[in-house]
Structure 1
Amino acid sequence: MRILGIETSCDETAAAIVERDANGRGLIRANVVLSQLDEHRAYGGVVPEIAARSHLDHLDRLIAQALEEAGSGFDDLDGIAATAGPGLIGGVMVGALTAKAIAWARGLPFIAVNHLEGHALTARLTADDPAEAAFPYLLLLVSGGHCQLLAVEGVGRYRVLGTTVDDAVGEAFDKTAKLLDLGYPGGPAVERAAERSARRRAEAGEETPRFRLPIPMRGRDDCAFSFSGLKTAVRQQLERLDTPPGEAEREDLAAAFQTNAARSIADRTARACARFTAEVAPGRPLVVAGGVAANKVIRAELARVADAAGMTFLAPPLKLCTDNAAMIAWAGAERLALGLTDGLDFRPRPRWPLADLADRAPPGAGAAAQAEAGA
């Protein structure tokens, strides 16, 4: 099947064409993403009204571009999928209403996709062999608004093992970047500053960290996260300096923050690996998804955790970690393969937890049944 996917939940306007074959393999025919970074940079964050207007201005053109790159027309499509939540509701409505209009005009199925499910299923799109990412698997979902560990038991079937008690890790990266005046967006800015710190310290032969920060939640029995205290520790270190921080101090603090955020994530994920192995199944994959999954230090820590737990580690290519429409098209294809579609009266949602998808999963279909249906 061939699906048009539309993503407008935040500050990327995106359209994609993705195919899913009878064996469950995915192929991206086109994946067009227009970033709005320049429009929001002056404000230090995403302005919802500006984002929604930009989606309105550009979405039709991007859909046409995706179709052209894929060598497809609307008549070649088997369904239209769009992010219907969670996200900035103005932007979500732009994408969902556009998808509904196309579906109605062309007589095609409409699939309302949960943005988080798009991230959760991306590893099944990018795996070389569908068996590598067969259900069940353990998912770490890390982004600007979400930080969760979930047992993924099938399409629409997600069980939360742990979540953040305060800030999501991506939010903590953004706030730390603002504290250190590193620029926007914060996550990549902190990573670049940390890389500069590492090079400079290596050249100087410095091995002892310049700043000591806490590792949040390390050693706890649960799988919860917390990053607010780590961000506060960065601010307190800044306040202790006798003079305004120079470039070296800001880079070293960024490195300390990133290192301990990664160590905290690794500790929490290792706990979840042990629990998942005991409660669900041993030897299943550890999958990471979401914008923060593009961070190289965090990916390296998670690969080490997976290896220690006897699990394979799956991470999408960097360009598919951040928001994109290919993941939305793929989630739509996975749902359509199971006969799951939505009416044109489906209402977009600013909040839509993954746990709420249970009522939209195939009745009584666990991982084994879904795998059989998908094949």
Structure 2
Amino acid sequence: MTTNSTNCYLLAIESSCDDTAAAILHNDKVLSNVVATQEIHEQYGGVVPELASRAHQQNIVPVVTAALRKANIDKKELSAIAFTSGPGLLGSLLVGTSFAKSLALGLNIPLIDVNHMQAHILAHFIDEDGYEKPSFPFLAMTISGGHTQIVRVDSYFQMSVIGETIDDAVGEAFDKSAKLLGLPYPGGPLIDKWAAKGNPKTFPFTRPKVEGLNFSFSGLKTQIMYFMQKQIQQNPNFIEENIADICASIQYTIVGILMDKIKKAVKQTGITQVAIGGGVSANKGIRHALKEAEKNMGWKTYLPKFEYTTDNAAMIGIVGYLKYREELVEKNNYVDTGVQAQSRLKI
């Protein structure tokens, strides 16, 4: 099968958690990026895996159809299909994997598996007006509801994790703190919103001491819980009267933990290019802190477009295209239809 990387129309599918997403890329340019969210999880305060996989089954055909229509592309024009093979919820991944396999087989085009965490990092290489692409090597901090990592990126597919959480992810710390405040799921964005109105130094929380470049957020969550319990005992209206300052203080502490580690990573590696990815990279507090570091410490920081921070198919598509392109000059990156979804998958 011959391929033409200069005229590649690629369908990308993302179904690792609770968002069903499809995108069409022409080389590294996004033509459409459609996401169907699952609101059913809000009433449970978190993602229910069984409900998520069922919703993916309902959403995947309409979402792919919408992506093709929006891009004005017929499925017969597709050059390849990329899909998320992991990490993520196994039931959710199976829906996207099975659909991608079937369509690729029917169209007789290459099927390309994509690591979800690599995609968060390589989303920076989408051709987007107003956004610069990092050069190698650079440091990437992937921050989401399921992951917190610092990754050294030496090439598109040469990456090494140099720091990661030893317990909870940063997104989980945000969401569970929000739950303690009575905020609906997902609570991280709501903490960010309230934090903009509060004083970040009103309620000081202790930052955990973790060796090296690793993170820990479980102790901070416990500290916040005990603090809230004590304050509510003294004043039942404490949260309502102090919501902005509480959120600002929590966010200030979490952002401080992240910045302490990335500063240490820059010092250890000598790499001053820093990119962020994942859902928490939409947080205004961390974006502001990184921009301040760029100004005060001589870094070059890369902040993704908001559309490419949370789970989306465009980021899967750019990895698929890069693999498709590399096939012409390096090695066979295509996978056969025997590829399996994997709930745990390292970079």
TM-score by length of 2: 0.91
Q: Does 1:322 align with 2:310?
A: yes
Question: What is the alpha-carbon distance in structure 2 between the residues aligned to residue 82 and residue 66 of structure 1?
Answer: 14
Question: What is the alpha-carbon distance in structure 2 between the residues aligned to residue 273 and residue 142 of structure 1?
Answer: 17
Q: CA deviation at 1:11?
A: 0.8
- The corresponding residue for 2:204 is 212
Question: What is the alpha-carbon distance in structure 1 between the residues aligned to residue 320 and residue 12 of structure 2?
Answer: 8
CA separation of 1:10 and 1:121: change in aligned 2, threshold 3 A: same
- The corresponding residue for 1:201 is none
Q: CA deviation at 1:223?
A: 1.2
Amino acid at match of 1:167: D
- The corresponding residue for 1:45 is 46
Q: CA deviation at 1:330?
A: 0.9
- The corresponding residue for 2:250 is 257
Q: Is residue 16–residue 326 contact of structure 1 (8 Å, CA) maintained in 2?
A: yes
1:273 to 247, 266, 273: 266
Question: What is the alpha-carbon distance in structure 1 between the residues aligned to residue 294 and residue 164 of structure 2?
Answer: 19
- The corresponding residue for 1:31 is 33
Deviations 1:20-54 (A, max 9, x none): 2xxxxx21100000111x21111000011111111
- The corresponding residue for 1:4 is 11
Amino acid at match of 1:61: P
Q: Secondary structure at the match of 1:144?
A: coil
Question: What is the alpha-carbon distance in structure 2 between the residues aligned to residue 319 and residue 259 of structure 1?
Answer: 24
CA separation of 1:130 and 1:179: change in aligned 2, threshold 3 A: closer
CA separation of 1:153 and 1:127: change in aligned 2, threshold 3 A: farther
Q: Is residue 29–residue 128 contact of structure 2 (8 Å, CA) maintained in 1?
A: no
CA separation of 1:16 and 1:191: change in aligned 2, threshold 3 A: same
**What are structure 2's unaligned runs of at least 5 residues?**
1-7, 328-332
Q: CA deviation at 1:306?
A: 3.6
Amino acid at match of 2:279: G
Q: CA deviation at 1:237?
A: 1.4
Q: Is residue 132–residue 302 contact of structure 2 (8 Å, CA) maintained in 1?
A: no
Q: CA deviation at 1:175?
A: 0.8
Q: CA deviation at 1:289?
A: 0.2
CA separation of 1:126 and 1:222: change in aligned 2, threshold 3 A: farther
- The corresponding residue for 1:90 is 91
Amino acid at match of 1:248: E
- The corresponding residue for 1:365 is none
Question: What is the alpha-carbon distance in structure 2 between the residues aligned to residue 139 and residue 127 of structure 1?
Answer: 19
Q: CA deviation at 1:110?
A: 0.3
Q: Secondary structure at the match of 1:322?
A: coil
Any residues of structure 2 matched to 1:126-205 within 5 Å, and which? 126=127, 132-198=133-199
Q: CA deviation at 1:248?
A: 2.5
2:283 to 274, 277, 295: 295
- The corresponding residue for 1:228 is 218
- The corresponding residue for 2:274 is 286
Deviations 1:85-143 (A, max 9, x none): 11011110000110011110001000011111110100111565998323221100000
Question: What is the alpha-carbon distance in structure 1 between the residues aligned to residue 187 and residue 292 of structure 2?
Answer: 25
TM-score by length of 1: 0.85
- The corresponding residue for 1:107 is 108
Q: Is residue 15–residue 326 contact of structure 1 (8 Å, CA) maintained in 2?
A: yes
Amino acid at match of 2:291: A
Identity in percent: 36
Amino acid at match of 2:224: V
Q: CA deviation at 1:193?
A: 2.3
Q: CA deviation at 1:186?
A: 1.6
CA separation of 1:71 and 1:127: change in aligned 2, threshold 3 A: closer
- The corresponding residue for 2:4 is none
Q: Is residue 181–residue 239 contact of structure 2 (8 Å, CA) maintained in 1?
A: no
Q: Following TM superposition, where does structure 1 have runs of at least 4 consecutive aligned residues deviating by more than 4 angstroms?
A: 126-131
Query: What do you get for the CA RMSD once the two structures are aligned?
Result: 1.8
Q: Secondary structure at the match of 1:18?
A: strand
Question: What is the alpha-carbon distance in structure 1 between the residues aligned to residue 134 and residue 118 of structure 2?
Answer: 15
CA separation of 1:12 and 1:189: change in aligned 2, threshold 3 A: same
Question: What is the alpha-carbon distance in structure 2 between the residues aligned to residue 153 and residue 130 of structure 1?
Answer: 20
**What are structure 1's unaligned runs of at least 5 residues?**
21-25, 199-207, 355-375
Question: What is the alpha-carbon distance in structure 1 between the residues aligned to residue 25 and residue 263 of structure 2?
Answer: 33
- The corresponding residue for 1:240 is 230
CA separation of 1:305 and 1:224: change in aligned 2, threshold 3 A: farther
Q: Secondary structure at the match of 1:185?
A: coil
Q: CA deviation at 1:321?
A: 0.2
Q: Is residue 5–residue 325 contact of structure 1 (8 Å, CA) maintained in 2?
A: yes
Question: What is the alpha-carbon distance in structure 1 between the residues aligned to residue 182 and residue 132 of structure 2?
Answer: 45
